[in-house]
Amino acid sequence: MSKMRVLVVTGFGINCEVEMAAAYRLAGAEADIVHLNEVFKERVSIHDYQVLNFPGGFSFGDDLGSAKVLSNKFKFKKMASGRHFIDDLARFLQDGKFIIGVCNGFQALVKMGLLPNIGGNFEQEVTLTHNDSGKFEDRWVTCGVHPQNRTPFLKGIEKIDLPVRHGEGKLIIRDAQIERAILEQNLNCLTYLGPDGQPTADYPYNPNGSELNCAGLTDPSGRVFGLMPHPEAYLSIYNHPAWPRKKEQNGGSEQGEGLQLFKNMVDYFSNH
């Protein structure tokens, strides 16, 4: 059987593409890192891949708001043949493929309307904006996984430690109707947990003051998944700030918890 192929886009200030690609390679997939202009000039087609990845970073320096300029490009800039990238994304999803966005990638997915996309028309329904602290912060958090989540990335995971590194990770939902739909359809797949293991609004366990204490979303199909924490930054146990103890607790395993997400995806494709 041929290996799963994933596309990791880069350019314009995206900066987590290398570790994102490494995650898939360690999980057993093939990963190509491609500048977005190669896609826009149609030298590379997203349709040759099974998973499309929007990594973290500071696209356009977060000017005009995080990922704002990038999502604007995806929605309005015409590709070489005159199509819009967002239409390609729609087709990609119709083909049963998957999109993940981490941090700046999540912000881009939200701002171009791919998440949560309850209305199904790529209209922006939520946003990610400045943390309540008003500061960029790098810290490790614990996230709980919604047991009825819809993404294969999170299969079998109940709880996960990951680093967050963002200034604009606070989820704000447009209105009560959208919020209800998110809850009813179990789209809030990741939730910040306190030391007691319960969802929390308390800083710093919830690092940004997100509504629903939400750290990640899927769309109703489960094919689009976005999250603020960085699973690609926890591929090895030695990335964890308490790795000496963590390693003892894990019976010496050297795998980071973040790698499991990517392994899950490889498993998913080998079974489908």
Partner 1 sequence: MQTAKHVQIVLKDSMRDVAGLHVQSDAKKFLHIDTGKVKTGKIYSIVHPMPDDILLAFARNSLCDCIIHDLYIDRLFTSERFPAYILISKLPGVTDDEGVSAQKAMCDFLNIPFDYGAHVIFTHEIYYFENPLNDERLKTIAEELLGNPLVNRFEYGKFSGQVTYIPEVHLESQPQVQTIDIFVSDEELQKISRERLLALDLHEMQAIQAYYQNQLVQAAREKHGISQLPTDCEIEVIAQTWSEHCKHKEFNATITYKDLDNGAQKTIHSLFKTYIRRSTEIIRERYEKAGHNWLLKIFSDNAGVVRVDDQRVFVWKVETHNSPSALDPYGGALTGIVGVNRDPMGTGVGGASLLFNTDVLCFGPPDYQGKLLPGQLHPRRIMTGVVKGIEDGGNKSGIPTVNGSVVFDERYRGKPLVFCGTGGVMPAYVDGKPSWEKRIDPGDRIIMAGGRVGKDGIHGATFSSQEIDEHSPRSAVQIGSPITQKNLADFMQVAVARGLIKSSTDNGAGGLSSSIGELATIPKGAFVQLANIPLKYAGLQPWEIFVSESQERMTLVVEPQKVETLFALAEDFEVELSDIGYFTDSGFLDVRYGEQKVAYLDLIFLHDGVPTKRMEAEWKKPKLSEPIIKESLDYNDVLLKLLGSLNICSRETIIRRYDHEVKGKSIVKPLMGQNGYAPQDAAVLRLDFDSYVGIAISNGILPRYGDIDPYQMAAGSFDEAVRGIIAVGGRLPDPQTDPDIFWSVNDNFCVPDSLYHPQNNPDGKLKLAKLVQMNEALFDMATFFNIPMTSGKDSMKNDFIKEGVKISVPPTILFSMVAKIPDVRKTITTDFKHEGDLIYQVGHTYDELGASEFYHLFGELGANVPRVRKEQALRIYRKMMEAIEQQLLSSAHDCSDGGLAVALAECAFGGNLGALVELPDFDLSLNALLFAESHSRFVVSVAPQNQPAFEKIMGDDAFLIGQVSGRQKLEIDHQNKTVLALDVQAMLDAWRSGLVF
How many Å apart are CA 98 and CA 40, to the nearest integer?
19
- Binding to partner 1, residues 51-90 (CB under 8 A): 56-58, 60-65, 68-69, 72-73, 75-78
How many Å apart are CA 28 and CA 50, to the nearest integer?
14
**Which tokens is 129 given?**
């904006």
- Active-site option among 16, 17, 19, 103: 103
Rank residues 67 and 97 by Cβ distance to partner 1 and give the closer one: 67
Binding mask 98-137 for partner 1 (x = CB under 8 A): -------------x------------x-xx-xxxxxxxxx
Q: CB burial class (10 A; 0-12, 13-18, 19+) of residue 166?
A: buried
At 50, which amino acid appears? Q
Most distant pair of Cα atoms in the chain: their distance: 56
What does the buried/exposed string (b/e) look like for 99-110 if buried means 16 or more CB atoms within 10 Å of the residue's CB? bbbbbbbbbbbb
For residue 232, indicate whether it is catalytic: yes
Note the Cα 176 to chain centre separation in Å: 24
Binder of partner 1 out of 4, 6, 9, 26 (CB under 8 A):
26
Binder of partner 1 out of 95, 174, 177, 183 (CB under 8 A):
174
For residue 137, indicate whether it is catalytic: no
- Active-site option among 19, 230, 240, 257: 230
For residue 38, indicate whether it is catalytic: no
* Residue 50 per-residue DSSP state: S
Residue 102 CB, shortest distance to partner 1, in Å, is 11
- Based on the shown chain and the rule CB under 8 A, indicate whether residue 230 belongs to the binding site for partner 1: yes
**Which tokens is 54 given?**
């929007």
Active-site residue set: 103, 230, 232
Query: Where along the sequence are the contacts to partner 1 (CB under 8 A)?
Result: 10-16, 18-19, 22, 25-26, 35, 37-38, 41, 56-58, 60-65, 68-69, 72-73, 75-78, 111, 124, 126-127, 129-140, 163, 165, 172, 174, 209, 230, 232-236, 238-239, 241-245, 254
